[in-house]
Structures are given as structure tokens and as C-alpha cells.
Structure 1
Amino acid sequence: MHKKVKVKPNSRIQKIEEEADGSLTVHLKSPPIDGKANQELIKVLAEKFNVPKNSIIIKSGFNSRQKLIEINP
């Protein structure tokens, strides 16, 4: 399964919002430095979709706020 994800780092609270088009907006507490926000994103999505962290792959947008995520069950 592929998901478009918009990441908002340095947020006060950690939450996931589902948009009308099926994409996700993910608010993360981590800063976008040294991949910390990407690591937190993988952890949060793994918990939401109830899959192991190694099942989630950032396909594109590693250094961007707009990402394409692949989730393998």
C-alpha cells in the first residue's frame, strides 16, 4: 500500500490527520535534523497501521515534507 504523507516536524503534539483525498498529515515532535523526523514518522506509522517498523519504507521525499510511503503488511 502506498500513502502520500505531509510531515510537520517540531509540532507540540504528535498526531495523524487523514485528509479527504486519503493522504495523511503527520505532526511530529522531532526536528528535521539527521533523519530524526523520518525515524519518528516510521515509528508513528508502524503503530497506526499495526505493522513492524521495517515494513515501512520512505519511497521518495526523504529530505522533503511531502513523502511517498510504502507500507508492506
Structure 2
Amino acid sequence: MSRTARRRSGGSRSSTDVRGRSAAGAPATDAAATVAVRVKPGASRDRVGGRYDGPHGPAWVGAVPARAVVGKATEAARRALADALEVRAALVELRSGAASRDKLFTVMADPAEVESRVRRLRDGAAS
């Protein structure tokens, strides 16, 4: 199965622990990492970092000024996540949670690097 077909079908290629969860708190694959995000729309400015224990495990918190209307907060959160992880926004796509504050994003980048950056933002770790 090709990478595109797996991504479209939602299939996971490998996992990092027995439960299939990565250090970022969500399932990881060979070519991408899944990042759990708790979005706080309507903030006075973009703020990233912090931890929220949500339905997808420990989540990174992103406060965005966009309102939760017609996907604007989701798009703002996607771009804020890309900026925080220092990847192009085109490499970050929504996996689930379009109408929820708890979202899963797939980041098409080195999973180890993504997890390290997410851990640093989410937990304040200096690793």
C-alpha cells in the first residue's frame, strides 16, 4: 500500500510503544507524527504551549485569535502548530476534530523531531 493510500485510509504503519502511542500522545507512523492539540479560540493573540489531558492523551495547547466559526480557529491552529514546529503549513493536516476543540493533526515530518518539539512546547522540557 502506498503512503498516500495509507494516509487516506487512516492506516498506521508502526507504533512506538505497546499501545501504539508516541511521546506526543498519539499514534505515530514512519513518515509522519500525529499531534494532539487543544484549541482555545478567541484569544487576544496567538499563544502556544502548555498541556491539556484530553481524549487523545496529553495535548499541546494552542490559543488563537480566530473564532470557532466555519473552521477559522482550526485553520489558525494548524498554522500556529506549523510555526511552532518550524515546518511548512502544507505539511500539517487535520486528521480529526474539525468541530471540536480537541483535534488531531498529522505532521508530515520526522516523527522524532516533531515529538521532541511538541514535548518541549507541551511539557516545558528542555530536551
TM tier, smaller: 0.7 to 0.9
Quote how far apart the aligned CAs of 1:20 are: 7.7
User: Aligned residues, how many?
Assistant: 73
Quote how far apart the aligned CAs of 1:16 are: 1.0
* Structure 2 match to 1:11: 43
* Structure 2 match to 1:58: 94
1:2-59 superposed Cα distances (whole Å, 9 cap, x missing partner): 1111101001121112328752011010001111111111111111111111110111
AA in 2 matched with 1:12: S
AA in 2 matched with 1:13: R
Distance across 1 between alignment mates of 2:70 and 2:64: 14
- Identify which of structures 1 and 2 has the higher relative contact order when contacts are C-alpha pairs closer than 8 Å and 6+ apart: 1
Moved over 6 A (4+): none
Q: Report if aligned partners of 2:39, 2:62 keep a CA contact under 8 Å in 1.
A: yes
Identity %: 23
> Aligned runs of 1:1-73 on 2, under 5 Å?
1-19=33-51, 22-73=58-109
Distance across 2 between alignment mates of 1:66 and 1:23: 8
Runs of 5+ unmatched residues, structure 1: none
Distance across 2 between alignment mates of 1:20 and 1:41: 15
Please say which structure displays the higher CA radius of gyration: 2
Counterparts in 2 of 1:20 and 1:27: CA distance versus 1, 3 Å:
closer
* Structure 1 match to 2:16: none
